Every structure is written in C-alpha cells, then in structure tokens.
Chain A
Amino acid sequence: MSAMLPPTHGVAAFLARRARWSPLEIAFWVFAFATIWLFPGKHLILTETAILALFALSLDLILGYAGIISLGQAAFFGLAGYVSGLLAKYGIVNEPVIALLVSGLFAAALGFVTSFLVLRGSDLTRLMVTLGVALMLGELANRYSNITGGADGLQGVTIAPIFGMFRFDMFGHTGYVYCLIVLFVCFVVVRRIVYSPFGLSLRSLKGNPLRASAIGIPVSRRLVAVYTVSAGIAGIAGGLLTQTTAFCSLDVFSLERSADLLLVLIIGGTGYLYGGLIGAVIYKFLQDWIAGLTPQYWQFWIGLVLVAIVLVGRERVDGWVAAARAAIVRLGGRLVARPAALGS
C-alpha cells in the first residue's frame, strides 16, 4: 500500500485489483470461444462439455464456497430438463431462451423448497436428503410416464430456432455456440456473486458457521439463497441438455449423474470457479479416450479414478493442481485468485 495515498485508497484498490479479470482468465475464455472455429467437427462433444461445465459450476458454488455436500444436484438438472422439454413439446413456450429461463426458475424454486432440508443435520443427512430428493423425482418421472415418456424418455420434442433465427442443426453448431454463451453469462454472474460481500459471507460460514452467526450473519438465509441460485444454474444446464439434444430421459435424475458431477469437480478442484470447467474438459477427454478403448466398462475406470484420487489424497491432488496453476501463473496472470492464496 502506498504511503502517499490514504490507506483506504490502498485497500479499495487492492480489492478492486483482485476482482479484475486476469490475463489468464481472459485467455481461457478467448480460447473457449475460439474452439468454435478451431474444432468444427467436435461441436457435439464440446456441447456436452459446456453443459457439464455449467453443471459443475453449480456444484462448486455450494460445495466449494458454502461447504454443502450434495449428491442430488441431478434433481434440479433433471427437473429443468423435463420442464424445458415439455415446454417445447406442447408449444407452451417456443422461444428456447425464454424456455431455458423458465426451466431454470422451476429448478430454483425446487432448490428453495428443499433448501431447508440441507440446513440441519450432519454431512450424511445432507447426502441422504439430496440424494433422496433426486431419486424421488426420478421415481415420479417414471410413474407419470404418460407425461414424461417414462423409461423411453420424452419423445417428440422439437426446439424452435433461437430468436427465430438460429436453427438447431444436426452437427450441433448452433447448439454449441448457444451453450457456450449461456455458460459464459452464468459464469460472469457467479463470478460477480463470489467476489461480492455475499460471496465472502459464504466463505465465512463454510469455514466457521458459529463465528459467522456471532458477527450477525444470518447463516441459514445465506445457505438458502446460495442453494437456490445453485439449483437454478444446475437447472439451466439441464435445460440446455434437453434443448440441444431434443430429448430427455430418466437418467438425468440418476445417482450416476450426481456422482460423476462430484468427480468432475474433484478433478478440477473446488473453490476457485474454474475447477468445474477444467474438470469437465478433463472428464470428457478421459471419457472419449476410455470409451474408445473399452466402451462398456467406462464405469469401472471412472470408479478406479475416484478410488485413486481419494487414496492419493485430495490435498495432494489439490497440491498438484495448485502447482500446475502456479506454473501457468508464472507465464502471466492469475486464474481467479484461490481464496486461500489471497495476500500471497
């Protein structure tokens, strides 16, 4: 801090600088959008990656920043998936962007309603409750197969062109650009939240909820708020999946989906926003590669990776990730300062 200017200026400037987009971040997004032209033949899998990245971002918000362990993000993903499919199928809302927002709102509403379940109880209770809600929705979707198509999935969904202009094509070009833009917009919003006083309070109640309430922070209210937002984002990811594939089936609610999501986030690292995105890329790459080798038993290798990561130790993996990031940082710029590394 400069000795010439009053100290407050230094503090404000320091905080402002921290929140600024670093060159590395900008490079990341420039590259992300460049992939539209760099890999024209891969848009379908890139779309899946973008959707997975958004989904993982939603989990990072509650797990990495607020410390809520959840095995049930699939509940919000799936609900919005079906809602957006039904909106399109029955012509209730034809414009995809609006339909996406509506589906996201449905998911957020579900998040709000179920949020009080994760406020109390231990880690296990939270796991149980979140998983239970997701499986329950899956059961519901199965039973009301006259609406949802049951095990066959939601059929006959056609998605109208975006803004009446951009038609969803067979090669996934429109879909990918659409998903990438939605991902970016959601990311900007989440980033803003994370660097706000609200976001800071989340980190405090993750670390020490007792102290947080002792300085006047309404812990439950903040948790409900972040859980609702996260549900909405997970819902948007689910809606994107339905809109880009014109299909939705029961596996959106499955345990496997929530578990894979955890894996994605663990691979990339939690608490610095880019973990979900990077994890999604690595996961999809792994999946593509392994599926090429042994298509049926992909689940085995995923299980092995999970077991290996835990045995090696997430802190050690975190350490490698941090070392890799440090190396990249030395090449120029931060990648959204890791909260714990602030001040260094």
Chain B
Amino acid sequence: MPILETIGLEKRFGGVTAAHGVSLALEKGARHALIGPNGAGKTTVINLLTGVLRPTAGSIMLDGRDITALPPYQRVRLGMARTFQINQLFSDLTPLETIGLAVSERLGSGSDWWRLVGSRPAVTEEIVEIGERFRLTDVMHERTAILPYGKQRLLEIALALACRPHVLLLDEPAAGVPDAERHELLATIAALPKDVTVLLIEHDMDLVFSFADRISVLVNGGLLVEGAPEDVARDPRVKAVYLGEELDA
C-alpha cells in the first residue's frame, strides 16, 4: 500500500487552475522527484499535501488515512514534514531552540509551561545528536538570522527531520545555496534514512537524477509523465516541455 497517495488533487484560485488531476502514489522508502518548468504548480502540490492550501477537489491519503481535511500541524504529527523553497526559519531563535521546538513538540512536551526549556534530557540529547548530524554544532547558539545561507539551509532540513517524519517533502533544497556549501547539502540529502519516503522538488537535474528512483513531471498543474529516470529523460514530450534543454541521464 502506498504510504502517500493523492487522488485527483485539484486546486483552483478563482479562474486560475493551479493543479488538476494530480494523482501520485509513493511507496514506503521511495525517492520520488517532482520536476517541471517554473510555474508548473510544484509548490502548490506541496502546499496541498501539507495542508497549507485546501484542495478544491481530490483527496490525500497518508498511510491509508484520509488527511485531506486535517490542518498542517496535525499532518506533521502523523508523520509528514516539509522544507520550504525559501528558508522559513525563526530568525530570532537559535538553531538549538529551533530544533528543540520540533523535538519537544514531537515528544509531547511542547505545551509544558511550568518546566524550563532544557530540563528534559531526552530532548536535549536529541537536539545535540541532530546538531552533530547536520554539522550545526558550532553554530547552535547563534541567532538564525546571522547564519550563512548554507547553514540555514541545513537547519531547514534538520528541522524537518527533527519531526521524525515518515514522509519528507523537500521543496528545492538546493535553491540559492552557493557552490561552496552545496557539497555538504547534497551529502546530507543522500544520507537521509532509508525508511523515510522522500518527495523532492528540484530544478537541479544532477541532484534529481542522482537521487530519484522515480520522477513525475508536472506541467501547467497537471502530471505529464511519470516513470523511471531513464524513461523520463528519453521521453520526447518532456524534452519538448523543457524546450530542448539538455537532460543528463
């Protein structure tokens, strides 16, 4: 049974149809990429999946459960997390606090008002471990706003993973990352746990083809093609859509 499934997902804004008939099925552990030209509706799909947007039609199933009507925070609690194309972080908080928030919430102590932050060892241990895994240890106490972009991007991903998701949605993780810091980022993505299902939106074709075992192509809000990377790369329709752009296979 697919762990994440959408059935006929559609989103209309007034007269504009941003997405229509989007049906995806991701098996557990899948590495699935969603590509398409700018404005194709990829971020809309992610927003629909995470609950930021309500679909005009269609449904979303997570692990066999219909989550179409659930608000974003409940989907996170059921095991779905995302990163944002443009870093959405808490500029005045430190990475320590940021990751701590996600871990706390997950462990159920997010609403504790009488305890001090940091007084639960399970939480602090996990924060330290995540910090080490994402090479953020040396900046744990800096304000997020002053961190270099690459570190912020790592924090963005670390934050999503701190939620221990079953399904991880990465929205253009490599976007805006300077060349010097890309290597770290790509290594982190490659090292994602094998049992986590990943849906990746990307423009960087190197990353897509090295990472994905299945690719869906989204054009003008609809799915054009879906299949294994080699097949998608050879598909003439895809080449036409990208206007003859060179697709490395």
Is B one of A's binding partners? Answer: yes
A14 & B105 in contact (Cβ 8 Å cutoff): no
Write out the residue numbers on chain A whose beta carbons fall within 8 Å of the beta carbon of B100.
197, 200
A16 & B119 in contact (Cβ 8 Å cutoff): yes
Q: Which of B90-98, B184-192, B212-220 lies on the face that meets chain A?
A: B90-98
A340 & B92 in contact (Cβ 8 Å cutoff): yes
Docked Cα-Cα span, A203 to B94, in Å, equals 12
B9 touches A (CB below 8 Å): no
B121 & A8 in contact (Cβ 8 Å cutoff): yes
B89 & A208 in contact (Cβ 8 Å cutoff): yes
Write out the residue numbers on chain A whose beta carbons fall within 8 Å of the beta carbon of B224.
none
Take A214-B82, A215-B101, A216-B76 as given contacts and tell me if A192 and B118 are in contact as well, using a CB distance cutoff of 8 Å.
Answer: no
B125 & A214 in contact (Cβ 8 Å cutoff): no
Q: Which of A35-43, A217-225, A286-294 lies on the face that meets chain B?
A: A217-225
Cβ contacts A170-194/B at 8 Å (1 or 0 each): 0000000000000000000000110
State the majority secondary structure of interface residues on A.
Answer: helix
B73 & A213 in contact (Cβ 8 Å cutoff): yes
A12 & B163 in contact (Cβ 8 Å cutoff): no
B137 touches A (CB below 8 Å): yes
A19 & B116 in contact (Cβ 8 Å cutoff): yes
Nearest CB in chain B to that of A341: its residue: B143
A11 & B117 in contact (Cβ 8 Å cutoff): no
Docked Cα-Cα span, A88 to B127, in Å, equals 52
B110 & A11 in contact (Cβ 8 Å cutoff): no
Cβ contacts A1-27/B at 8 Å (1 or 0 each): 000000110011011100100000000
A197 & B88 in contact (Cβ 8 Å cutoff): no
Write out the residue numbers on chain A whose beta carbons fall within 8 Å of the beta carbon of B105.
201, 215-217
Take A213-B71, A216-B105 as given contacts and tell me if A196 and B88 are in contact as well, using a CB distance cutoff of 8 Å.
Answer: no
B101 & A198 in contact (Cβ 8 Å cutoff): no
Docked Cα-Cα span, A211 to B84, in Å, equals 9
Take A203-B90, A204-B90, A210-B88 as given contacts and tell me if A11 and B96 are in contact as well, using a CB distance cutoff of 8 Å.
Answer: yes
List B114-129 residues whose CB lies under 8 Å from chain A: 114-119, 121, 124-125, 127-128
Docked Cα-Cα span, A201 to B115, in Å, equals 13
Contact partner of A216 among B89, B127, B163, CB < 8 A? B163
B162 to chain A, nearest CB (A): 7
A107 to chain B, nearest CB (A): 19
A8 & B101 in contact (Cβ 8 Å cutoff): no
B73 & A211 in contact (Cβ 8 Å cutoff): no
Interface residues on B, range: 35 or more
A319 touches B (CB below 8 Å): no
Contact partner of B92 among A207, A212, A216, CB < 8 A? A207
Nearest CB in chain B to that of A215: its residue: B102
Docked Cα-Cα span, A7 to B52, in Å, equals 37
Write out the residue numbers on chain B whose beta carbons fall within 8 Å of the beta carbon of A203.
90, 92-93
Cβ contacts A232-244/B at 8 Å (1 or 0 each): 0000000000000
Nearest CB in chain A to that of B92: its residue: A340
Write out the residue numbers on chain A whose beta carbons fall within 8 Å of the beta carbon of B97.
200, 342
A343 touches B (CB below 8 Å): yes
Take A197-B109, A211-B88, A215-B159 as given contacts and tell me if A15 and B117 are in contact as well, using a CB distance cutoff of 8 Å.
Answer: yes
Write out the residue numbers on chain A whose beta carbons fall within 8 Å of the beta carbon of B27.
none
Docked Cα-Cα span, A198 to B93, in Å, equals 14
B102 to chain A, nearest CB (A): 4
B239 touches A (CB below 8 Å): no
B65 touches A (CB below 8 Å): no
A207 & B115 in contact (Cβ 8 Å cutoff): no
B174 to chain A, nearest CB (A): 19
Nearest CB in chain B to that of A17: its residue: B118
B141 touches A (CB below 8 Å): yes
Docked Cα-Cα span, A316 to B176, in Å, equals 33
B182 touches A (CB below 8 Å): no
Write out the residue numbers on chain B whose beta carbons fall within 8 Å of the beta carbon of A344.
143
**Nearest 6 CB-CB pairings of A with B:** A15-B118, A216-B76, A343-B141, A198-B113, A211-B88, A215-B102
Q: Known A-B contacts: A216-B102, A217-B101. Give 10 more (CB < 8 A).
A: A7-B128, A7-B137, A12-B118, A197-B104, A201-B104, A201-B111, A204-B101, A211-B90, A213-B71, A214-B88
Q: Point out residues on A near B: beta carbons under 8 Å.
A: 7-8, 11-12, 14-16, 19, 192-193, 195-201, 203-204, 207-208, 210-219, 221-222, 225, 339-340, 342-344
Some 9 contacts from A to B, beta carbons below 8 A apart, are A14-B118, A15-B118, A19-B118, A197-B117, A198-B110, A200-B101, A214-B81, A339-B92, A340-B92
